[in-house]
Structures are given as structure tokens and as C-alpha cells.
Amino acid sequence: MISRLHTGPARQRGVAAIEFAFVFLLGVLPLLLITLAGILIFAAQQSLALASAEGARAALQYGTVAQRQSNACNAAQRSMSWLLAFSGESANCGTPPAPGGNYAPIAVSAATPCPSNAAMQCITVVASFDYNTHPFIPGATALYGWLMKSNLSSSATVQLDLGT
């Protein structure tokens, strides 16, 4: 008797599943991770914009300039709490960071003359997130590094009514 080698569909059973696994792992999954990283970066930028805007609005509450700065910092801290928790950083609202000093997630300026009207006083709130140190997906900084040269940040300026 001559035995014939199986050359039909019986030998091909399971090959499609293996091919799908390779295509999924090497093609689709990296695309999904890159898309997820982009969405998280977008969400972080929107949170920073909200935090700086909320901080600037909180600075409008009546009180001394120091109280306004504290209100602004606390409001910004509440608005970006998920980013602060993710990075393990804390915003020190008691002492504002020195100009040109170390990185701070929230910086509230002192009351300074407004750029548009030097007779009025303005406060600027800057909310920042260091994505290079705390990436959402490890390895994504190599991909998004060319796009984001510095920290993610947003700023908002408010003109104060000091009751003059």
C-alpha cells in the first residue's frame, strides 16, 4: 500500500488563527496603543486648560492678593487632580514657585501690571504636566517626542478688580 501525504485542507487547519494572531500582535495592537496614548495626551491637555481657566476664575474672588493666589492654586489643583495622582506630584499652594526655578505642576503669579492696561493688575495661572517623565504608555515618548518638545501646559490670565 502506498500512503499518501495529506496535502489538502486537513494540513491547513489552524493556520488562519496563527496568521490572525501575528497580524493582531504586530499590526493592530501597536496602532491601538498609539491611538490610546494620543487620546490620553489630548485628555491631559484639556484638563490642563480647564485647570488654568478654573484657577483664573477662582482668583476673581474678593480677598487679598495672597488669598486670591491660594484660591487659584486650589481650584487648579482640583481640576487636574487625576494628572497629579497619576504623576505622584503635589501642587504646593502655600508657596508659589520661584521664576525660573524648578518645575511646578501649578504656578500662580503675583499680581503684576496687565500687558494690555498697565493701570490694572493681573494674575496668571499656569498648569503643567511633564509627559516625558510620566508617560501614559511606556515607550510612547519615543513616538510623540518629536511632537511634544516640552511639557504640556496651559495658562490663563485674569484682570483683578482690587477696588481702587
pTM of the model: 0.77
Cell triple for 62? 474678593
Give the tens place of pLDDT for each residue, 11-58: 667 788 888 888 777 878 888 888 888 898 899 999 999 999 999 999
Q: How far apart are CA 2 and CA 35, in angstroms?
A: 56
Give the tens place of pLDDT for each residue, 143-162: 666 666 668 889 999 998 76
Predicted local confidence at residue 123, as pLDDT? 92
Q: Is the distance from CB of 54 to CB of 78 less than 8 angstroms? A: yes
Is residue 98 pLDDT above 80, yes or no? no
